[in-house]
Protein backbone atom coordinates (compact mmCIF):
# COMPACT_ATOMS: atom_id res chain seq x y z
CA UNK A 1 0.00 0.00 0.00
CA UNK A 2 1.36 3.43 -0.92
CA UNK A 3 0.64 6.74 0.73
CA UNK A 4 -0.20 9.68 -1.49
CA UNK A 5 0.44 13.12 -0.06
CA UNK A 6 -2.07 15.57 -1.53
CA UNK A 7 -0.91 19.04 -0.62
CA UNK A 8 -3.74 21.07 -2.20
CA UNK A 9 -1.66 24.22 -1.72
CA UNK A 10 -1.16 23.86 2.03
CA UNK A 11 2.65 24.29 1.84
CA UNK A 12 2.22 27.48 -0.18
CA UNK A 13 -0.23 28.89 2.38
CA UNK A 14 2.02 27.83 5.28
CA UNK A 15 5.00 29.58 3.67
CA UNK A 16 2.93 32.75 3.13
CA UNK A 17 1.81 32.75 6.76
CA UNK A 18 5.44 32.44 7.87
CA UNK A 19 6.36 35.35 5.60
CA UNK A 20 3.45 37.35 7.01
CA UNK A 21 4.65 36.64 10.55
CA UNK A 22 8.11 38.05 9.75
CA UNK A 23 6.93 40.96 7.58
CA UNK A 24 7.46 44.59 8.51
CA UNK A 25 5.63 47.34 6.62
CA UNK A 26 6.92 50.87 7.19
CA UNK A 27 5.17 53.96 5.88
CA UNK A 28 6.44 57.51 5.98
CA UNK A 29 9.63 59.38 5.27
CA UNK A 30 12.51 56.94 5.03
CA UNK A 31 16.17 57.90 5.27
CA UNK A 32 16.54 57.78 1.49
CA UNK A 33 13.49 59.96 0.78
CA UNK A 34 15.55 62.96 -0.31
CA UNK A 35 16.94 66.19 1.05
CA UNK A 36 15.65 69.73 1.53
CA UNK A 37 16.26 72.37 -1.13
CA UNK A 38 19.25 73.70 0.79
CA UNK A 39 20.49 70.16 1.30
CA UNK A 40 21.19 70.67 4.99
CA UNK A 41 18.85 67.90 6.22
CA UNK A 42 16.86 64.95 4.95
CA UNK A 43 13.13 65.21 4.38
CA UNK A 44 12.71 62.64 7.17
CA UNK A 45 14.50 64.98 9.59
CA UNK A 46 12.43 67.95 8.42
CA UNK A 47 9.20 66.01 8.88
CA UNK A 48 10.30 65.00 12.39
CA UNK A 49 10.66 68.70 13.22
CA UNK A 50 7.17 69.39 11.85
CA UNK A 51 5.77 66.44 13.80
CA UNK A 52 6.88 67.74 17.22
CA UNK A 53 7.31 71.44 16.46
CA UNK A 54 10.23 73.66 17.36
CA UNK A 55 9.97 76.35 20.04
CA UNK A 56 13.38 77.63 18.94
CA UNK A 57 11.98 78.80 15.59
CA UNK A 58 8.35 79.27 16.79
CA UNK A 59 7.04 76.39 14.69
CA UNK A 60 3.93 74.74 16.15
CA UNK A 61 3.66 70.96 16.02
CA UNK A 62 1.77 69.53 13.06
CA UNK A 63 1.72 65.82 13.99
CA UNK A 64 0.72 64.25 10.68
CA UNK A 65 1.86 60.73 11.63
CA UNK A 66 0.24 60.77 15.07
CA UNK A 67 -3.00 62.22 13.73
CA UNK A 68 -3.22 59.67 10.92
CA UNK A 69 -2.49 56.77 13.28
CA UNK A 70 -5.10 57.91 15.79
CA UNK A 71 -7.78 58.66 13.19
CA UNK A 72 -7.27 55.59 10.99
CA UNK A 73 -6.23 52.94 13.51
CA UNK A 74 -9.52 51.00 13.41
CA UNK A 75 -9.69 51.07 9.60
CA UNK A 76 -6.12 49.82 9.33
CA UNK A 77 -6.81 46.99 11.79
CA UNK A 78 -9.89 45.95 9.79
CA UNK A 79 -7.85 45.97 6.58
CA UNK A 80 -5.08 43.94 8.26
CA UNK A 81 -7.60 41.30 9.32
CA UNK A 82 -9.06 41.11 5.82
CA UNK A 83 -5.61 40.79 4.27
CA UNK A 84 -4.55 38.13 6.79
CA UNK A 85 -7.72 36.17 6.03
CA UNK A 86 -6.98 36.41 2.29
CA UNK A 87 -3.44 35.10 2.88
CA UNK A 88 -4.75 32.25 5.05
CA UNK A 89 -7.25 31.28 2.35
CA UNK A 90 -4.53 31.38 -0.30
CA UNK A 91 -6.19 34.21 -2.22
CA UNK A 92 -3.01 36.33 -2.13
CA UNK A 93 0.61 36.14 -1.08
CA UNK A 94 2.00 37.76 2.04
CA UNK A 95 4.02 40.17 -0.12
CA UNK A 96 0.87 41.28 -1.96
CA UNK A 97 -0.93 41.81 1.35
CA UNK A 98 1.97 43.90 2.67
CA UNK A 99 1.99 46.03 -0.46
CA UNK A 100 -1.77 46.60 -0.23
CA UNK A 101 -1.53 47.62 3.43
CA UNK A 102 1.43 49.91 2.74
CA UNK A 103 -0.26 51.57 -0.24
CA UNK A 104 -3.45 52.12 1.76
CA UNK A 105 -1.65 53.73 4.70
CA UNK A 106 0.54 55.81 2.38
CA UNK A 107 -2.61 57.23 0.82
CA UNK A 108 -4.12 57.94 4.24
CA UNK A 109 -0.97 59.78 5.33
CA UNK A 110 -1.00 61.89 2.18
CA UNK A 111 -4.69 62.68 2.69
CA UNK A 112 -4.05 63.73 6.28
CA UNK A 113 -1.14 65.82 5.09
CA UNK A 114 -3.39 67.94 2.90
CA UNK A 115 -6.66 67.93 4.87
CA UNK A 116 -5.98 67.83 8.60
CA UNK A 117 -6.86 70.72 10.91
CA UNK A 118 -4.83 71.39 14.06
CA UNK A 119 -5.29 73.69 16.99
CA UNK A 120 -2.60 76.35 17.03
CA UNK A 121 -1.57 76.94 20.66
CA UNK A 122 0.01 80.28 19.76
CA UNK A 123 -3.20 81.79 18.44
CA UNK A 124 -5.87 79.77 20.26
CA UNK A 125 -7.71 78.89 17.07
CA UNK A 126 -7.80 76.01 14.66
CA UNK A 127 -5.78 76.06 11.47
CA UNK A 128 -4.98 73.71 8.66
CA UNK A 129 -1.23 73.45 8.17
CA UNK A 130 -1.75 73.21 4.45
CA UNK A 131 -4.64 75.47 3.56
CA UNK A 132 -4.14 78.42 5.85
CA UNK A 133 -3.12 81.46 3.86
CA UNK A 134 0.26 82.87 4.67
CA UNK A 135 0.21 86.28 6.35
CA UNK A 136 0.56 89.21 3.98
CA UNK A 137 4.21 90.03 3.47
CA UNK A 138 5.25 86.40 3.94
CA UNK A 139 7.79 85.10 1.49
CA UNK A 140 6.00 83.46 -1.41
CA UNK A 141 7.39 79.98 -1.83
CA UNK A 142 5.19 78.51 -4.50
CA UNK A 143 2.08 77.66 -2.50
CA UNK A 144 -0.31 79.21 0.00
CA UNK A 145 -0.36 75.90 1.86
CA UNK A 146 2.05 75.80 4.81
CA UNK A 147 3.52 72.32 4.52
CA UNK A 148 3.32 72.18 0.76
CA UNK A 149 5.81 74.31 -1.11
CA UNK A 150 6.85 72.24 -4.09
CA UNK A 151 5.24 69.09 -2.66
CA UNK A 152 8.58 67.47 -1.79
CA UNK A 153 7.67 66.41 1.73
CA UNK A 154 4.24 65.03 0.82
CA UNK A 155 5.50 63.29 -2.29
CA UNK A 156 8.34 61.66 -0.33
CA UNK A 157 5.86 59.65 1.77
CA UNK A 158 6.29 56.03 0.74
CA UNK A 159 5.91 52.51 2.06
CA UNK A 160 8.42 49.68 2.27
CA UNK A 161 7.73 46.00 2.76
CA UNK A 162 10.53 44.01 4.37
Mean pLDDT over each residue of the chain, to the nearest integer: 80
- pLDDT confidence bin for 119, thresholds 50/70/90: low
Each residue of 53-63: pLDDT tens digit? 888 888 888 88
CA distances from 129 to 44, 46, 52, 105, 143 (A): 18, 15, 13, 20, 12
pLDDT at 160: 96
Q: What percent of the chain has pLDDT over 70?
A: 78
The DSSP-derived string for 89-157 is TTSS-HHHHHHHHHHHHHHHHHHHHHH--EEETTTTEEE-TTTSPPPTTPPP-S-SSTT-SSSHHHHT-
- pLDDT confidence bin for 138, thresholds 50/70/90: very low
Residues 6+ apart with CB under 8 A from 124: none
pLDDT at 75: 94
pTM for this one? 0.74
Question: Does residue 139 register a pLDDT over 60?
Answer: no
126 in Cβ contact with 119 (< 8 Å): yes
Each residue of 68-111: pLDDT tens digit? 888 899 999 999 999 999 998 889 999 999 999 999 999 999 88
Amino acid sequence: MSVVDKDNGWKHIRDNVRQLNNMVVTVGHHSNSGRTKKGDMTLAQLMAIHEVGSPKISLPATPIYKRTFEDRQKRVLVLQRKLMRAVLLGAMTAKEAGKMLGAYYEGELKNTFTRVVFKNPNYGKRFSPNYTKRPSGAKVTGSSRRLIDAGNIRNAIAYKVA
